[in-house]
Chains A and B, each alone.
Chain A
Amino acid sequence: MPNAGFDLVRKSQIISLIAALYVVVSQFSPALSITPLEQAQNDYTYQITKYQETKDAYQTASSNFKTYKTATAKNEAFAKTKTYLVQVKNVYFSYINLVKERTNSVNWDHSAYKKDDVTTPLNTQIEELAKEEKKVRDAQTLEDLTPVFKELTSVIEAKIVPQVFRALATSDIAQVEDLSWQLDQNSQKVDDYIKDRYSQHDTQLYLNWKTEVGATKSKIATNIEKYKTTLANSNVYTDNVAIGTNFKFDTSEARQTLKSTKQLIRELIK
Chain B
Amino acid sequence: MTSEDPNLMEGEILRENEPIASPTASKPTTPGLKLPKISLGKLKTLKLPKLKFIAIALFVLLVCLLALVFVSKRNNTPPEVVQNISVASPTVQSPKPDAQKKLEDSLDLYDKAVDDTTITIVDFQAPKVDLEPKF
* Shortest Cβ gap from B120 to chain A (Å): 5
Select one of B59, B71, B99, B129 contacting A91, CB under 8 A. B129
Select one of A149, A178, A245, A247 contacting B121, CB under 8 A. A247
Establish whether residues A88 and B49, one from each chain, have CB atoms under 8 Å apart when the complex forms.
Answer: no
Q: Which residues of B contact A63 (CB under 8 A)?
A: 134
B23 is an interface residue with CB less than 8 A from chain A: no
A53-79 with Cβ < 8 A to chain B: 55, 58-59, 62-63, 65-66, 77
Tell me the complex Cα distance, A222–B2, Å. 118
Q: Which of A19-27, A199-207, A209-217 contacts B (4 or more CB under 8 A)?
A: A19-27
Closest residue of chain B to A89, judged by CB? B129
Q: A-B pairs with CB below 8 Å: how many? A: 137
Establish whether residues A23 and B70, one from each chain, have CB atoms under 8 Å apart when the complex forms.
Answer: yes
User: A186-B107, A262-B114 in contact; A13/B59 too (CB < 8 A)?
Assistant: yes
Establish whether residues A252 and B120, one from each chain, have CB atoms under 8 Å apart when the complex forms.
Answer: yes
Establish whether residues B127 and A95, one from each chain, have CB atoms under 8 Å apart when the complex forms.
Answer: yes
User: A13-B59, A243-B126 in contact; A19/B131 too (CB < 8 A)?
Assistant: no
Q: Interface on chain A toward B: helix, strand, loop, or mixed SS?
A: helix
Q: Which residues of A contact B53 (CB under 8 A)?
A: 9
Q: Which residues of A contact B129 (CB under 8 A)?
A: 51, 88, 91-92, 156
Tell me the complex Cα distance, A242–B128, Å. 10
Q: Which residues of B contact A175 (CB under 8 A)?
A: 117
User: A58-B134, A63-B134, A142-B135 in contact; A244/B128 too (CB < 8 A)?
Assistant: yes
Residues of B within 8 A of A (CB): 49, 52-53, 56, 59-60, 63-64, 66-67, 70-71, 74, 99-100, 103-104, 106-107, 110-111, 113-114, 117, 119-122, 124-135
Establish whether residues A183 and B134, one from each chain, have CB atoms under 8 Å apart when the complex forms.
Answer: no
Establish whether residues B110 and A183, one from each chain, have CB atoms under 8 Å apart when the complex forms.
Answer: yes
A231-270 with Cβ < 8 A to chain B: 242-247, 249-252, 255, 258-259, 261-262, 265-266, 269
Establish whether residues B56 and A98, one from each chain, have CB atoms under 8 Å apart when the complex forms.
Answer: no
A140-154 with Cβ < 8 A to chain B: 142, 145-146, 149-150, 152-153
